[in-house]
Amino acid sequence: MSTAMNFGSKSFKPRPPDKGAFPLDHFGECSAFKERFMECLRHSGYESGACRQRAMAYLECRMERQLMANEPLEKLGFKDLIDEKSEAKPEK
């Protein structure tokens, strides 16, 4: 039972997410990581690219607490950050 009210234009078809749904973080286990990320966004004038390190930290937090399926970070678009990390390792 679909209503096609727009003549000639395609209806918007929502697509499910590639990797499924995030379970809710009911206990706010990763809220601190989220806050750090949001703080970065505010300071950078909402430039997403400037805050990728903290976005990655947030997703790592989720993975560690079973709030996200484990996925290699390189596959989530963070390959360049991972490569930087491994280059910087000798200093540690």
Partner 1 sequence: VVPGETALAFYKAKNPTDKPIVGISTYNVIPFEAGQYFNKIQCFCFEEQRLNPQEEVDMPVFFYIDPEFAEDPKMAKVDLITLSYTFFEAKEGQKLALPGYQ
Q: Which residues are at the interface with partner 1 (CB under 8 A)? A: 9, 12, 14-22, 24-26, 28, 31, 34, 37-38, 48-49, 52, 55, 58-59, 68, 76-78
**If we measure between CA atoms, which residue out of 55, 43, 46 comes closest to residue 81?**
55
Which CB atom, from 10 or from 89, has the smaller least distance to partner 1?
A: 10
Residues written for the chain: 92
Which CB atom, from 81 or from 89, has the smaller least distance to partner 1?
A: 81
Which CB atom, from 5 or from 90, has the smaller least distance to partner 1?
A: 5
**Distance between CA atoms of 66 and 17, rounded to whole angstroms?**
18
Three-class secondary structure of residue 5 per DSSP: coil
